[in-house]
């Protein structure tokens, strides 16, 4: 049994990883200031410290109170559009929070550090599927902040021997298949929950940003990786960090689905039409973004289990249909492990 510090563990991806760690018997301390996260999303048995990770004194107290076998770092600003309006805040906060956290981990003698990174590192890719050798050329301040944070971790590794990993997620999607956790952001910016909310009458009609791309149906194609598969990838990479560091992996399910295919899947799964309207393209949106996770699969044995779009959509639909107000009407006992 090991003990992990999880920043942002009350958020969407982090809470699913905390659940997976608890299920395999690990101890978890979550640090989250709940600006986006939810107290009810933290699995019972995990400690929750409500704090901003930029508060270095609180962070030192946390490292003094527990001895950790590793840090998993999810807490970050992560809205691409907002990052273009406030680039300095994004870069300052995402980079410095990551590096001070790494520094605190080094001081505490904690040898493993895994951070959430993003497909936004690759900007407009030259080819798909995108593997780890693709050129790193972020188009947003958000993407650049994650790239700078990764570079800082390279230095923590070289100078201090901290073994680091970075998982570059494509689009995390779906919900715990047993209905114990789901996705609940405010504002919501991800396609699947926005479309489900529209179909349930919980949100406005969906805007499709561009229908004249060079794709079979004219809409953008993205790679949706189930959040439970993503959680499994974290556990495997964490184990690999026991032996070696400098791990950088792309994580996706390797298949691309267009916006229209997502809407058709929601119709197939729920019987409901998604009200939608056609809008203009968004600047900087590539036509196709699909990951190659071959390196992750080869080196850790990971493979997506929920790789069909209908399965992904079904879990997301079930959670939102059961909890239309998200965690506001969520029964905490449901999250028990
Ligand atoms: N969801 C995706 O599809 C996706 C894709 C690529 C990368 N990522 C990255 O994965 C990570 C998790 O994403 P998510 O979708 O779960 O986001 P999320 O907003 O649901 O979770 C982030 C959590 O961190 C907390 N947090 C943020 N700043 C904090 C701070 N300074 N101190 C303490 N807590 C803080 C929030 O309250 C929230 O609970 C982020 O770093 C994001 O950039 C997510």
**pLDDT tens column, 241-278:** 999 999 999 999 999 999 999 999 999 999 999 999 99
Query: Is pLDDT above 90 for 1?
Result: no
Binning pLDDT at 50, 70 and 90, where does residue 330 land? confident
What pLDDT is stored for residue 283 in this prediction?
A: 85
Q: pLDDT tens-digit profile of 18-55?
A: 999 999 999 999 999 999 999 999 999 999 999 999 99
Residue 102: band (very low, low, confident or very high) from pLDDT cuts 50, 70, 90: very high
pLDDT in tens, 6-20: 999 999 999 999 999
Kindly state if the Cβ of 54 falls inside 6 Å of ligand 1: yes
Ligand 1 within 6 A of 32 CB?
A: yes
pLDDT of residue 336: 52
Residue 329 is predicted with a pLDDT of 80
pLDDT band at 319 (very low <50, low <70, confident <90, very high): very high
Return the residue whose CA atom lies nearest to atom 32 of ligand 1.
Answer: 52
**Ligand 1 pocket, mutate which of 5, 7, 17, 36 (most atoms under 8 A from CB):** 36
Q: Is the pLDDT assigned to residue 220 strictly greater than 60? A: yes
Reported as half-sphere exposure (CB side, CA atoms, 13 A), residue 239 has a value of: 14
- Note if 142 is an active site residue: yes
Helix (H) or strand (E) holding 267: helix 259-270
| Per-residue pLDDT at 333 exceeds 80 | no
Beta strands, E only, 65-214: 70-73, 112-118, 163-169, 171-173, 206-209
Arithmetic mean of pLDDT, 187-209: 97
Q: What does the buried/exposed string (b/e) look like for 58-79 if buried means 16 or more CB atoms within 10 Å of the residue's CB?
A: bbeebbeeeebbbbbbbbbbbb
- The answer to whether the beta carbons of residues 186 and 36 sit under 8 Å apart is yes
Against a cut of 0.95, is the pTM above it?
Answer: yes
Q: Please name the residues in contact with 101: beta carbons below 8 A apart, sequence gap of 6 or more.
A: 7, 53, 59, 71, 73, 113
Ligand 1, atom nearest to 146 Cα: 43
In b/e form, how buried is each residue of 89-114, taking b as 16+ CB within 10 angstroms? ebbebbbbbbbbbbbbbbebebbbbb
* Mean pLDDT for the chain overall: 96
């Amino acid at each position: 049994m090991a003990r992990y510090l999880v920043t942002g563990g009350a958020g969407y991806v982090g809470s699913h990883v905390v659940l997976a760690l608890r299920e395999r018997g690990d101890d978890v301390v979550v640090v989250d200031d709940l600006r986006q996260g939810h107290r009810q999303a933290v699995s019972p048995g995990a400690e929750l410290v409500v704090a901003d990770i930029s508060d270095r004194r609180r962070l030192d107290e946390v490292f003094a109170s527990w001895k950790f076998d590793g840090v998993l770092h999810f807490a970050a600003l992560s809205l691409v559009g907002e990052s273009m309006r406030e680039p300095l805040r994004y870069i300052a906060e995402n980079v410095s929070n990551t590096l001070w956290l790494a520094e605190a981990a080094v001081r505490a003698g904690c040898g493993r550090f895994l951070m959430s990174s993003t497909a936004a590192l690759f900007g407009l890719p030259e080819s798909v599927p995108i593997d780890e050798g693709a050129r790193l050329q972020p188009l947003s301040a958000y993407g650049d902040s994650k790239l700078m944070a990764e570079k800082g971790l390279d230095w923590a590794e070289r100078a201090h021997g901290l073994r680091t990993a970075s998982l570059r997620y494509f689009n995390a999607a779906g919900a715990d298949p047993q209905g114990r956790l789901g996705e609940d952001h405010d504002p919501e910016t991800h396609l699947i929950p926005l479309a489900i909310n529209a179909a349930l009458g919980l949100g406005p009609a969906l805007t499709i940003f561009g229908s004249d791309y060079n794709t079979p149906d004219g809409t953008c194609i993205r790679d949706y990786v189930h959040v439970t598969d993503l959680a499994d990838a974290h556990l495997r990479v964490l184990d690999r960090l026991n032996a070696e560091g400098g791990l950088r992996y792309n994580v996706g399910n390797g298949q691309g689905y267009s916006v229209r295919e997502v809407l058709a899947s929601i119709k197939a799964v729920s019987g409901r039409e998604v009200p939608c309207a056609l809008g203009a393209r968004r600047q900087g949106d590539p036509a196709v973004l699909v990951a190659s996770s071959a390196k992750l699969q080869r080196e850790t044995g990971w493979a997506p289990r929920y790789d069909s779009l209908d399965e992904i959509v079904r879990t997301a639909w079930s959670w939102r249909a059961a909890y239309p107000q998200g965690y506001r009407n969520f029964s905490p006992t449901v999250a028990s492990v």
